[in-house]
Every structure is written in structure tokens, then in C-alpha cells.
Copies of this chain bind each other. A is one copy, B any other.
Amino acid sequence: MISPDLEVNHMDIVIYLFDGITALDAIGPYEVLTRLPGARVRFVGPERGTARTDNGALALVCDAGRDEIERADILLMPGGFGTRRLEHDAGLLEWVQRIDRTTSTTMSVCTGAMVLAAAGLLEGREATTHWVSLERLSEYGAIPRAQRVVTSGKYLTAAGVSAGIDMALEFAARTAGAELAMSVQLGIEYDPAPPFDCGSVQKAPPEIVESIRARFREHS
């Protein structure tokens, strides 16, 4: 690897899957985290089986059920319309609390932050989530921040969907060094060139912002 004298310990990464997930929330950061030295990624669901995206188009395999998992170095909670249900899933929230007590980093993408918040992990902490849901973070005592990535102690929260890639690269730089993170960034050829400069609510035309808010309300 890049730094042959870097001490490589195993880093157990648990990514939670559930019905109603937005796939890119999980797969974006996964594609970065799996390239870290010593990374051992497990995709974990309510039980072994599959988790299907909110639109039904894609199923991801849960290689383990959550009851099989006792600990993790990193816990990643992705988002999607399905998190609305998870906010009230007592069994899941208890599991998240238990695993969080073993992690060095607990992270979320998009509305995955609402699950961490519902588990009480973000109380009094700055955090972010998909812009449509941002203000709801305060219902759980978190302090909403309109940033792409927010760090608060061992908690990393990313904004909507694609923001998990940036979060994971920041994490890679912090834990494995800039050189390793740059290598991962080049490996996944992450030199983004979006066709429009409208990827945040601050930049997009108001009528487009409103149309998305309306569509999300249908799912609430």
C-alpha cells in the first residue's frame, strides 16, 4: 500500500441495511471505507436476507442479522424514506445504542441521522441530514447545521445521499492520512463534474426546491 510502515489493524465496519433505503447513501461511503487499511465491511440488516430500496428496484443482501453483531469500529447508518419507520423501531434503536457504545466512529448519511438522533446519540450535538429533513433533527435535541459534513466528537453526519462520499473521504484522511485518502479518491476517480451548480438548497432555484419538498411530503 501507500504507507508500508503504517500499522494495519482490522477495522470492523458495519453498514446497516433496511427496506426503504436509498442505495447510494450506503454504497457511496462503502466504496471509500472498504479501501481503508484493515477494513472489514459487513452489511447487516434486521435479519439475514435482503433489503429493498424505497422504489423497489434494487435489493441488497444483508450478510448478517443485527443480532449477530456485538460490536463495530465504525457504524454507518444510511438514509431513505424507510428511516421514518426506523425512528420508532425500539429494537433497532436499542441495537444502535449498544453498538455505538463499542464504536470509535458512528456515522450517518442523509436521513440516517434521524435514526441516530432517535436513539438519543445526537442530543446536544451539531448534526446534518438531507436538507428536507434538517429542521426535524431538533425534535431529538440535535443542533441542525446546513453543512455537507458535520463532525461532533465521534459522530459524523453527512447531508443528503451523495454527501456520504465526501464524508467518507474526510474520515479516510483523518484516520489513515492524506496520502491514503488521495489514493482512494483517485482510485474511484472522484473528480466530480456535475452539469449544474444546484446540488444544495442554497444554490438551487426556489421552484425546484419547493417541488422536492412537495414530493417528500407525499412520503411522510
Question: Which A residues lie at the B interface, using CB under 8 A?
Answer: 1-2, 22-24, 27-28, 30-31, 34, 40-43, 50, 55, 57-61, 63, 110, 130-131, 148-149, 159-163, 165-166, 169-170, 173, 178-179, 181-183, 185-196, 198-201, 203-205, 208-209, 211-212
Shortest Cβ distance from A18 into chain B, in angstroms?
Answer: 15
Partner pick for A181 among B22, B55, B195, CB 8 A cutoff: B195
Contact of A161 among B43, B50, B161, B190 (CB under 8 A): B190
- Most chain B CB within a 10 A radius of its CB, from A43, A57, A183, A191: A191
Contact A59 B55, beta carbon cutoff 8 Å: no
Closest 7 CB pairs of A and B: A160-B189, A191-B199, A192-B192, A59-B61, A161-B188, A191-B200, A24-B31
A208 near B186: Cβ-Cβ < 8 Å: yes
Beyond A162-B190, A165-B194, A181-B195, 16 additional pairs, beta carbon < 8 A: A30-B58, A43-B59, A58-B61, A60-B60, A148-B191, A165-B192, A166-B194, A173-B196, A181-B196, A183-B211, A185-B199, A185-B204, A186-B198, A186-B199, A190-B194, A192-B194
A163–B189 touching, CB < 8 Å? yes
On whether A57 and B31 interact (CB within 8 A), knowing A162-B192, A186-B198, the answer reads no
